[in-house]
Amino acid sequence: MVMVLITTILRTLVGTLWPAYMSFKTIVTKDTQAYIHWMKYWVCFSLFTVCELVADLIIWWIPFYYEAKLLLLAFLLIPQFHGPEYIFKTVIRPTLRHHESTIDKVIEQLNSHVYATMVNGISAVRYKAMEIMLGPSAAAPATPVEEEDEDDMMTPVRPPQDAKRL
């Protein structure tokens, strides 16, 4: 339990805050090489985070699991190892290039689905807010007026069979 806490604290401080500050300095100084390095770091760190979510559920019980996570983080952070460059070049770039068109399609579909869901959600919230403020009848959406079809106007109206005749 102690190792989980230590790993979480170190991961947050060393794996997130320090690289975030270094990325800030890179942006301010406009150092292209450092910019590329930190972009690769963040791509690798994102993959590390996703893998960590799954691994924490499945293999947390393996001895030295948390220490191995810290070693991987050190591999990414220590400049002499060139960890982000190596992982990006050997794992991430080939994998993403191979699946790029599929990933792009999925992202496009998700974007359109999320957009539609957001629009519907906003409409529902707006309707509910109007209902609360003005009452149910004022908030009801206007029902479209049905236009009469020209064919219906030409059809004679017949009284029901049981209607009284004058």
Q: What's the pLDDT tens digit per position in 18-31?
A: 999 999 999 999 99
Report the candidate in 107, 137, 141, 114 with the shortest Cα–Cα distance to residue 126: 141
The stretch 84-93 carries a mean pLDDT of 97
Return the higher-pLDDT residue of 65 and 43: 43
Query: How many folded domains does the chain comprise?
Result: 1
When pLDDT is cut at 50, 70 and 90, the band that residue 43 belongs to is very high
C-alpha span between 153 and 8 (Å, rounded): 75
Structure tokens at 25: 């300095």
Q: In this structure, is residue 38 part of a structural domain?
A: yes
C-alpha span between 21 and 113 (Å, rounded): 35
CB atoms within 10 A of CB 44: 21
C-alpha span between 59 and 10 (Å, rounded): 20
Is the distance from CB of 45 to CB of 76 less than 8 angstroms? Answer: yes
Q: In this structure, is residue 87 part of a structural domain?
A: yes
Domain extent, residue 52, equals: 2-100
The stretch 134-145 carries a mean pLDDT of 60
**Which residue shows structure tokens 């450092």?**
34
User: Mapping DSSP to helix (H, G, I), strand (E, B) and coil, where does residue 158 land?
Assistant: coil
When pLDDT is cut at 50, 70 and 90, the band that residue 166 belongs to is very low
Percent of the chain with pLDDT over 70: 81
CA end-to-end span of the chain, whole Å?
Answer: 94
